Amino acid sequence: AQSVSQHNHHVILSEAASLELGCNYSYGGTVNLFWYVQYPGQHLQLLLKYFSGDPLVKGIKGFEAEFIKSKFSFNLRKPSVQWSDTAEYFCAVINTGTASKLTFGTGTRLQVTL
Amino acid sequence: NAGVTQTPKFQVLKTGQSMTLQCAQDMNHEYMSWYRQDPGMGLRLIHYSVGAGITDQGEVPNGYNVSRSTTEDFPLRLLSAAPSQTSVYFCASSYRSGGADTQYFGPGTRLTVL
C-alpha cells in the first residue's frame, strides 16, 4: 500500500532560522505532490504543489519544495521562518497512474519562537 | 464564493446517538471527500464521491455513511456514535477526481463522543 512519511513530528525553530521538512513516499509511477498547511484554528490550505516540469516549485509565503524522483522525496524548505509560520504541515501524494487516492502524511508541527 | 462550508463547527454526542455532518461547496466540483484528523495520524480518508449519485469507501469507512444527491452537498452520517469517532472531520472538494488536483477544505467539525 502507498504511504507517505514525514519523519519530523515536531520542529521548534527560532525566527530567521532555515526550515526543511522531510516528505518521502513509498511508490513509483507518476505522482502529484502537495504540501498543505493548517494554521492554528484554521482549515487546511494549499501551500504548493508539483504536477510536472521544474522539480523545484515555489509556493505562498516564501516556501518552496524540491521533487527528487530518485529519492521519492518532496521536502519543504524556507530560508528564514517567521513566527507566523507556526502551523502544522502535511505532505500529500497521489499516484496519478492508478485508481489510488490522495494519501496524507502524519503531519509536522512547526513552532517558531521569537 | 463561500468555498466549502461545514456545519456544525462543534458537536458533543453520547455513545449510540446518530447525527449528520453537513458539507456543501459552491465551486461546482465533482469530487468531494471526507477526512478525519487525529493526533499523530494525519488525515485519513473516510468516504469520497466522484459525482452526484456516486460514492465509495476510503481508508476508514466503518461507522459512517454518505450520500451525494446533488453536486453541491455531501453529508456524512454517523449512525451510532462511538468514542473512537471522536475526531476533527474535514470535508474537501476538488475539480478533478481522485484527489489529483488541489483540495479545498472546509473549516472542520470537532466531534466529541462521550
B4-51 per-position pLDDT tens digit: 999 999 999 999 999 999 999 999 999 999 999 998 888 999 999 989
Nearest Cα residue in chain A from B5: A43
Chain A CB contacts of B41 below 8 Å: 106
As a whole number, mean pLDDT of residues A42-50 equals 93
Task: Read off the pLDDT band of A94 (50, 70, 90).
Answer: confident
DSSP A40-91: TTS--EEEEEE-SS-SEEE-GGG-EEEEEGGGTEEEEEESS--GGG-EEEEE
Chain A CB contacts of B102 below 8 Å: 34, 46, 49
Q: Coil, strand, or helix at residue B6?
A: strand
Question: Where is pLDDT greater, at A64 or A31?
Answer: A64
Nearest Cα residue in chain B from A47: B102
Res A49: pLDDT: 94
Mutate to test the interface with B, among A8, A88, A93, A102 (most CBs of B within 10 A): A102
pLDDT of B60-102, one tens digit each? 999 999 999 999 999 999 999 999 999 999 999 998 766 678 8
Enter the C-alpha cell of residue B61: 469507512
As a whole number, mean pLDDT of residues A5-18 equals 95
**What span, in angstroms and rounded, lies between the C-alpha atoms of B114 and B92?**
26
Q: Which amino acid is at A12?
A: I
Q: Considering CB atoms only, which of B44, B101, B106 is closest to A43?
A: B106
Q: Average pLDDT, whole number, for chain A?
A: 92
Query: Across the interface, do B98 and A101 touch by the CB < 8 Å criterion?
Result: yes
Burial (CB < 10 A; 0-12, 13-18, 19+), residue A91, is buried
Q: What stretch of H or E contains A1?
A: none
